[in-house]
Amino acid sequence: MPTNARVLLDYLARPERHRYGSHGCNRADLHVPPGDGPHHVVVTIHGGSWQARYGKVLMKPAAADLVRRGRAVWNIEYRRLGRGQGGGWPATFEDVGAAIDHLSKLDDPRLRLDSVAVVGHSAGGQLALWATSRSDARVSIRRVVGQAAVCDLASAGESARALLGGTPAEVPERYTAVDPMRLIPLGVPILLVHGPSDETVGVRHSRRYAEAARAAGDRVELIEPSRGEHRIHIDTRSEAWQVAAEWVTKPDP
């Protein structure tokens, strides 16, 4: 079968649908490779400025590519801002935490949950870094990828203020709880992929975070691909995606 046809079939393949809560957005898709497993699991978290007009379909091609690489993928949805979803503080964070923790409730022998990885793009990168920091998590995250991630909420502008309901001066405890810059060190390997020409989320976010995390003792790689558009990171044909996919699927150190 030609490669492009196989990619299309993978993209259109219907995943297993799950619900992890009572809200309409509390949904996740499970993509599993052929075979009994157990398969390592990658959680994917889409971006879109935490806005309701963007959804988990953005990460479906990435999920298909990871499945071809032998990984099971848990592609999550969560409450966002707008359209009456009730997202923002604290609902968005409650949902992301609950979605990842729900993996432990599946009791699925095909899934290996002792070395879960998380990949997040843009706002989803912020959520991925935050989720990795949780001390009360039921699922242990062993590595994390931030693709053009919002690593510094304090300098993220109006979008971050809408997410958290105020500025760092107005709601400091919220920034302390979820801003990746304030959650260092994570204690797990971190990959940041961020194009230097990204005009949506500036590469300065990732550069600042990498410097601070290394100083705190974290193992951080920062890769700046030659093509740096913001959405290129979830294009599975791009260098930006390829380096992320190869890193997240390599054997545990």
What are the CA-CA distances from residue 193 to residues 3, 10, 148, 176 (Å)?
A: 26, 25, 6, 24
Q: Tell me whether residue 110 is exposed, middle or buried, using C-beta atoms within 10 angstroms of its C-beta: 0 to 12, 13 to 18, 19 or more.
A: middle
Residue 158 predicted with pLDDT over 90: yes
Which residue reads 């190869």 in tokens? 246
Report residue 122's pLDDT band, with 50, 70 and 90 as the boundaries: very high
* 42 beta partners: 73, 117
CATH architecture entry for 3-248: 3-Layer(aba) Sandwich (3.40)
Sequence ranges of the domains in the chain: 3-248
Q: Tell me whether residue 69 is exposed, middle or buried, using C-beta atoms within 10 angstroms of its C-beta: 0 to 12, 13 to 18, 19 or more.
A: middle
* 23 beta partners: none
Alpha-carbon span 238 to 65, nearest angstrom: 12
Q: Is the pTM of this model over 0.85?
A: yes
What share of the chain has pLDDT > 90, as a percent?
Answer: 90
Report residue 132's pLDDT band, with 50, 70 and 90 as the boundaries: very high
Query: What is the chain written as a DSSP string?
Result: --HHHHHHHHHH---EEEE-SSSTT-EEEEE--SSS-PEEEEEEE--STTBTT--GGGGHHHHHHHHHTT-EEEEE----BSTT---STTHHHHHHHHHHHGGGGS--TTEEEEEEEEEEETHHHHHHHHHHH-TT-SS-EEEEEEES----GGGSTHHHHHHHTS-TTTSHHHHHHH-GGGS---SS-EEEE--TT-SSS-THHHHHHHHHHHHTT--EEEE--S---GGGGG-TTSHHHHHHHHHHTSPP-
Alpha-carbon span 150 to 53, nearest angstrom: 18
Residue range 219-236: mean pLDDT, rounded: 92
What share of the chain has pLDDT > 70, as a percent?
Answer: 94
Both structure tokens of 91:
């609902």
Per-residue pLDDT tens over the stretch 61-114: 999 999 999 999 999 999 999 999 999 999 999 999 999 999 999 999 999 999
Query: What is 30-77 written as a DSSP string?
Result: EE--SSS-PEEEEEEE--STTBTT--GGGGHHHHHHHHHTT-EEEEE-
Amino acid (1-letter code) at residue 102: H
